[in-house]
Structure 1
Amino acid sequence: MTTTLCSAWHVDRGLGLTTRQPAPRLDQPTTAYRILGLPDPLLRQGIAMHEAGHAVLMLRLGMPFTSVSVADDLGHGPDKQGSAGLVDFGASYSAPVPDVLLSSAAGERAQDRWLREAGLWTEDRAWVVEILAAHDRTIIDQAVRISHPDGPTYGVSSDPTVDLAALHDYVDVWLHGLWDQVVELASVLNRRGTLTGAQAAAITSFSSNGGTPESGVTE
């Protein structure tokens, strides 16, 4: 685990995000996927790692979901409004705030670790992983504001329920202990495209996942 320093964070007012990595210096307009510069098989594996990170933490914490999936178009097909992947967890979902924080941050941290282990990590790619987790960051922001109306801080507190840097460090510790399950689930998800909550639980050797009948997503 690497302790995150305050100076490592960068405010991007255009995107409305505070990121660990600085935004790339670009000479002309481009897209996030062009900055990633990964062929589709690697892009798909990275998305699978992201979703598996969410799913494994949810399973470990006893948070039910109906399915986890990777989009066929990887989020950059003709309908670019769609998600690259999602965990379907139900429209009327509730869980303890600490569990919501952990599971929401696990996707981008799993994808970042995968980039490092695959020898693909660069500042620019890590920045893209962060901005593509904007939906997850919104969930984290909303959860933090329940008890802290000013929202998350960045590298100024050791409290993972308030500070995103501390939360990332905390999630990294959880992922380290669950990494074999994340890798295995991502591998199967990459091949199949969609898994039910019960299938994901069986693959990771967690107790059976009950799931819920309605539709909602964590991206």
Structure 2
Amino acid sequence: MRFTKIIFSFLTVAVCASCSKIDNYVAPDGGIHGVLTDNLTGENFQTEQPNGFTVKLFEKGGKGNSPIAFQGKPDGTFKNAFIFKNDYKLLVTEGAFFPLDTVNVSVDANSESNFKVTPFLAIVNPSVKAEVGKVVVKYQLKREIAADKIIERKVLVSRVPTVNNSVFDFKSQADLTAVTDAVILASDYSDTVSGLASGQTYYVRVAARTNNALKKYNYSKVFAVKIP
């Protein structure tokens, strides 16, 4: 028992001594921010969070070339204010857009890097009209590059400002797998979502998806509407 107490005392002293050492590591002193612009609409690229798109930074001279990775925001912006000043290769990836090339960036205290992306699909001319108990949403789908088949369109309605394919309270949905892409792209859509409470504010968004490997949706911006 006495021997055990002695060992325990030595361990306690050792732990306390290690805790008393001063942490003198240098804190990250750089930051980077930017925005993705939709090449078809000229507006911010609309997506979701998390997993809308990923920004990867490969540090010059970094061991193993393991990237710093962080998520973009639903409005197409991104920001990381906790990285070291240095030269990096930057890659914006894993979004509902065609691949971008890696670019070289020099990160200082507040660097800016902006990108134009070509989406798999763009929701164009969206409009939302609130009526008693419902919203009527009109829009078209557009694309610049013919690739994967267009397979789905949705109108999503949420009681909270966050609204996407995972967060919604009401929806209207259509399967487009049996419709040719040519017909889809030439169509004007008008979808109605019913069952909404009078006096309540809802957040409305259009989503559409191609049969892309990442199963990512393209989105319109979010509309806030109050039901009469």
Q: Which has the higher contact order (CA 8 A, sep 6+)?
A: 1
Tell me the TM-score normalized by structure 1. Answer: 0.22
Q: More helix by proportion, 1 or 2?
A: 1
Tell me the TM-score normalized by structure 2. Answer: 0.21
Q: More strand by proportion, 1 or 2?
A: 2
